[in-house]
Amino acid sequence: MDERGLAPDGTIAREGSLERISAEFAPVVEALRVHVAGTFARLHSAYLYGSIPRGTAVPGVSDLDVLLVLRDEPSDADRADARRIEAALDRAFPQINGVGIQLAGARALLSDAERHDGGFFVACLCTPLLGDDLAEHLPRYRPTSLLARETNGNLAALLPGWRTRAAAAVTDHQRRTLSRPVSRRLVRTGFTLVMPRWGGWTSDLDKSAELFGRYYPERLGQMRTAAVTARAPSADPAVLEMLIDDLGPWLAAEYTATHGERAPRP
């Protein structure tokens, strides 16, 4: 891929690979493979995403991000099995700071409704680990306004829930736990807001913040704070207030004005 994360034909290149996994995390991935293969009889495919397959994971800091695609829609029993695997890996490997396993059905990910959301996620941001790669049945994606609108979801719908959780967060741990997903989502939103104008793709938080700042220099300081908080969660109530009550609403409004409303889901 080039410096914009694009393949030679101008489409977004897949950003991770199993070859990029560092030696520190290789045993974690192998244990995951064994757990998943021995647990999910209806497994279609399994994927890694995030810093571990990108080769940028930091031992003791980074988490293990996993997508399991089942042949049918996930059940409560499947979700319980996923939670057990998360707990077992988290206990066994101190080099990871938690495990997150997402579950999805193959039919849903290949549907028209998910083509520029879940489908894009699999085809460009996920690294195949087990099974048949769904990307073979998905299009090649370009950094368009349509992709920006559909893959990022509705930020405005998240803000009320974040405000409720922030008001109820009375300990440092609670505020840190909330600040990480909030800041990650805001950085991603900020980047996808400008993605079509920049003409490429990145998942790097710092690069995303700086690219956003090229087009919105007056908000660059806030976005840099969000990128820092996404890596090192903050317990400062003022940081949460800035993210949720200032940067968040502005981003939501600017996003809709620039890319329009996301298509309704069935």
pLDDT per residue as tens digits for the range 141-157? 999 999 999 988 789 99
Residue 241 lies in a domain: yes
Q: Same domain for 95 and 63?
A: yes
The pLDDT, as a whole number, for residue 266 is 63
Measured in degrees and rounded to the nearest 5, phi and psi for residue 117 equal -125, -90
- Is 80 exceeded by the pLDDT of residue 1? no
At residue 49, the 3 state secondary structure works out as: strand
At residue 215, the 3 state secondary structure works out as: helix
Neighbours of 6 (CB within 10 A): 17
- The more confident residue out of 228 and 1 is 228
Range of the domain at 113: 18-137
Average pLDDT over every residue of 163-191: 96
**How many domains, the chain?**
2
Average pLDDT over every residue of 61-82: 96
259: Cα within 13 Å, side-chain hemisphere: 30
Q: What angle do CA 162, 51, 34 make, to 5 degrees?
A: 105
- Is 90 exceeded by the pLDDT of residue 250? yes
Domain final residue, candidates 137, 153, 187: 137
- Is 90 exceeded by the pLDDT of residue 86? yes
Quickly list H helices, 97-236.
106-109, 118-120, 145-152, 155-168, 172-198, 205-215, 220-231
The pLDDT, as a whole number, for residue 2 is 84
Q: Same domain for 46 and 105?
A: yes
Average pLDDT over every residue of 62-90: 97
Domain final residue, candidates 84, 102, 137: 137
